[in-house]
Amino acid sequence: MIDVQSLKKSFGSNQVLKGISTSIKKGEVIAVIGPSGSGKSTFLRCLNLLETHDEGSILLEGKDINEMELHLRKKIGMVFQHFNLFPHLTVLENVTFAPQQVLKISKSEAEKEALDLLKTVGLSDKANSYPSNLSGGQKQRVAIARALAMKPEVMLFDEPTSALDPEMVKEVLQVMKNLVKLGMTMIIVTHEMGFAKEVADRVLFMDDGKLVEDQEPAIFFENPKTDRAKAFLEKVL
Amino acid sequence: MNLDFAQLVPSIPYILYGIWVTLQFVAVSLVLGFLWGTVLSLFKIGKITVLRWFADAYTSVFRGTPLILQMLLIYYAVPQLTGIDIGAFSAGVLTFALNSAAYISEIIRAGINAVDKGQKEAAMALGVPYRTMMLKIILPQAFKNILPALMNEFITLTKESAIVSVIGALDIMRRAQIVGASNYRFFEPLLLAGLVYYLLVMMLTLAGRVMERRLAKSD
């Protein structure tokens, strides 16, 4: 579904991606892990053009993503570390905004679908609240519902639980697990190793802008091939 | 002390009618200045170099020269060049709109830049086009942040509008001067004019507070 070929990206003189190649099949759940500054988030952001890559190519269903900006983003949903909910809109308006504005769905239909989505993330009762009245975990669940409202084919998660208080991590991971069960294609940048081990089909281990390992989680977490991955796992597990 | 307000009484309606003139003047200038200022601020944060350069130069010139000079140029000098006589009221409105747009564009630019960049990214990731993103996501948040600064600018505009009296527009200030000259007593009419301006500014301040409170409902 997504083919990435020798992806390179620099910020000024700092090369953050040094040639990443991988491909992701429909329905796969990919966990991207690695130390801070390894380029995980940049890699993810390149996939929906929040960053434009310098070299290499990204193909979505065989088409170069550079030529399909708005269309691409309708197909790829994204969840951010800091939620980025629209603070001046209610929870319901946050979820219905893009379907109404981008997909041109009627307000009543968008609201109906939004309420269904809010139900699946367990926040039906918060539909008319503003984001400032929600906890971090609730905000992130709304953000997931907002992304799902666009009916994306792929969901990107950029450290979705890193900004949360520890007791709120679980509720967000639970929502994500439900998505996995529904067969959603997901690429998740995360520091939650237990979660990665449990739900991922593949683990991409990145270090210093390179894709160091690309493995099934069972193999990666038990028998990492590279010393770099071994050292990293020893620190975090 | 030699104050005689009794002599002023017959002229009070004449001066008060100036409120209407001043309000019209301020309202039109304000709306035009605000719209033009918003456009300029979008030029400033946009990607098109020529427009950015234009907006920066524009602001620099209008902030760097006296307002009264700008007004006299538009009122006296433009007709000299083009032969089009635009009248005191229009010349005043035009000057104030052009001038306040320069200040307002800076206020709005700062307000837009102060909106968390995650907001833009979230909108982009949802496939929201630039125009919609600006109008529905970024600008509403920016306006909330800049409302106090914007009200300040509107208050300044209301007070500074008194200088249109220089080119003969019959606003509160001009009327107070005319009454002063005909009665040969200046203190009373000017005091009345001052009171009227003060009350107008207080009303604007109150309106600003009400708006701020309404916008704060999402906090």
Question: For residue A76, which residues of chain B lie inside 8 Å, CB to CB?
Answer: 125
For residue A28, which of A201, A173, A182 has the smallest C-alpha distance?
Answer: A201
Is residue B218 pLDDT above 80, yes or no? Answer: no
Put simply, whether A50 touches B (Cβ < 8 Å) is: yes
Q: Which of A73, A86, A131 sits opposite B125 (nearest CB)?
A: A73
Residue B45 and residue B109: Cα distance in Å, rounded? 7
- The arithmetic mean of pLDDT across residues A41-54, rounded, is 90
The pLDDT value given to residue B214? 82
| Per-residue pLDDT tens over the stretch A129-138 | 999 999 999 9
- The arithmetic mean of pLDDT across residues A196-223, rounded, is 89
pLDDT band of residue A215 (cuts 50, 70, 90) is confident
Question: For residue B132, which residues of chain A lie inside 8 Å, CB to CB?
Answer: 101-102
Question: For residue A80, which residues of chain B lie inside 8 Å, CB to CB?
Answer: 118, 121-122, 125
For residue A44, which of A36, A54, A32, A34 has the smallest C-alpha distance?
Answer: A32
Interface test with B, best of A101, A104, A133 (most B CBs within 10 A): A101
| Per-residue pLDDT tens over the stretch A121-155 | 999 999 999 999 999 999 999 999 999 999 999 99
To the nearest whole number, what is the mean pLDDT of chain B? Answer: 89
DSSP A185: E
Is residue B1 pLDDT above 70, yes or no? Answer: no
What residues form DSSP beta bridges with B65? none
| Per-residue pLDDT tens over the stretch B62-74 | 999 999 999 999 9
Q: State whether CATH 1.10.760.10 applies to domain B13-217.
A: no
For residue A206, which of A34, A29, A22, A23 has the smallest C-alpha distance?
Answer: A34
Is residue A69 pLDDT above 80, yes or no? Answer: no
What residues form DSSP beta bridges with A5? A57
The pLDDT value given to residue B48? 92
Q: Do B137 and A86 touch (CB under 8 A)?
A: yes
**What is the distance in angstroms between the Cα of B210 and the nearest Cα belonging to chain A?**
17
Q: What are the two backbone dihedrals, phi and then psi, of residue A54, each rounded to the nearest 5 degrees?
A: -90, -45
Residue B193 and residue B168: Cα distance in Å, rounded? 16
The pLDDT value given to residue B7? 80
Q: Do A88 and B125 touch (CB under 8 A)?
A: no
% of chain A with per-residue pLDDT over 90: 43
Q: Do B218 and A48 touch (CB under 8 A)?
A: no
- Concatenated DSSP letters of A188-207: EE-S-HHHHHHH-SEEEEEE
Does ipTM surpass 0.85 in this model?
A: yes
Residue B168 and residue B97: Cα distance in Å, rounded? 18
Q: Domain spans of chain B?
A: 13-217
- The arithmetic mean of pLDDT across residues A30-49, rounded, is 90
Is residue A218 pLDDT above 90, yes or no? Answer: no
Q: What are the two backbone dihedrals, phi and then psi, of residue A213, each rounded to the nearest 5 degrees?
A: -140, 145
Put simply, whether B120 touches A (Cβ < 8 Å) is: no
| Pairing of the two strands A202-207 and A210-215 | antiparallel
- In chain B, positions 58-117, which contact chain A (CB-CB < 8 Å)? 116
Q: Which of B119, B127, B141 sits opposite A73 (nearest CB)?
A: B127
Q: Which of B118, B136, B218 sits opposite A84 (nearest CB)?
A: B118
Buried b (16+ CB within 10 A) or exposed e, B40-59: bbbbbeeeeeeeeeebeebb
Q: Which of B118, B132, B140 sits opposite A82 (nearest CB)?
A: B118
* Residue A128, Cβ density class (10 Å: 0-12 exposed, 13-18 middle, ≥19 buried): exposed
What residues form DSSP beta bridges with A11? A14
Choice among A194-198, B5-9, B59-63, B137-141 with the minimum mean pLDDT: B5-9
To the nearest whole number, what is the mean pLDDT of chain A? Answer: 90
**What is the distance in angstroms between the Cα of B145 and the nearest Cα belonging to chain A?**
12
Q: Which of B116, B129, B140 sits opposite A88 (nearest CB)?
A: B140
